[in-house]
Amino acid sequence: MLIIEARREPYKGYEYTSASLISRGSGEWTYGRIEVRAKLPTGKGMWPAIWMLGTHIDTVGWPQCGEIDIMENVGFDPNRIHGNIHTLAYNHVKKTNKGSSITVAKPYENFHLYAIEWFPDRIDFFVDDRKYFTFKNEGGGVDVWPYDRPMYLILNIAVGGSWGGMQGIDDSIFPQQMLIDYVRVYEPIY
């Protein structure tokens, strides 16, 4: 079991510690099914995420590199799972991002399977194999669809932040853990 733990503890001038696991340089994919079976942390201030960024972020920047949020959850709305994409045309800064959400009973008490199936023409988002969102390739070029290039996976718990901390941080909840049972990537065979 992989455990990512967020703690309330001083470190280099900050009040909290946590971690991000990043596959860049050791695992990068273009298309396929990416799935993560996880149990989430909970409480005001928690912002666990399973997401992907384009490997060329250093040369083109964000959001041009593309971002796929396979799973996001905020502690002040603990039973809602979000799936989003961010591109130059569609992103939260412009308030044009595309995404959806689904209610999941107590994702902090039980393991659930968070997944995408990524094709040249669309990205489908799932929780426990229930599809709740599809983002289609509109044919508008890289500003709309930067998803024809390799991307790497990130697993993390943010503490606070612009979304996770929107209603503050409850210091009584710590420590909090995201438990990862497994990560699987199924690459397409063409």
User: pLDDT tens digits, residue range 145-164?
Assistant: 999 999 999 999 999 999 99
In this predicted structure, what is the pLDDT of residue 50? 98
Q: How confident is the model at residue 190 (pLDDT cuts 50, 70, 90)?
A: low
In this predicted structure, what is the pLDDT of residue 100? 98
Q: Give the mean pLDDT of the chain.
A: 97
Active site residue 72: yes
Size of the chain in residues = 190
pLDDT at residue 166 above 90?
yes
**Residues forming beta bridges with residue 135, ordered by sequence position:** 123
In this predicted structure, what is the pLDDT of residue 62? 98
Q: What share of the chain is helix, strand, coil (3-state, %, to 5)?
A: 5, 50, 45
Q: How confident is the model at residue 171 (pLDDT cuts 50, 70, 90)?
A: very high
Alpha carbon dihedral 62, 73, 3, 38, in 10-degree steps, equals: -110
pLDDT at residue 47 above 70?
yes
List of long-range contacts for 6-11, beta carbons under 8 Å, 24+ apart? 6/41, 6/46, 6/157, 6/159, 6/174, 6/175, 6/176, 6/177, 7/174, 7/175, 8/171, 8/174, 8/175
Distance separating alpha carbons of residues 138 and 164, to the nearest angstrom: 31
Marked catalytic residue, from 5, 35, 72, 109: 72
Q: For the residues 168-182, what does the mean pLDDT come to?
A: 98
In this predicted structure, what is the pLDDT of residue 18? 97
Q: For the residues 47-70, what does the mean pLDDT come to?
A: 98
Active site residue 67: yes
Marked catalytic residue, from 9, 15, 28, 67: 67
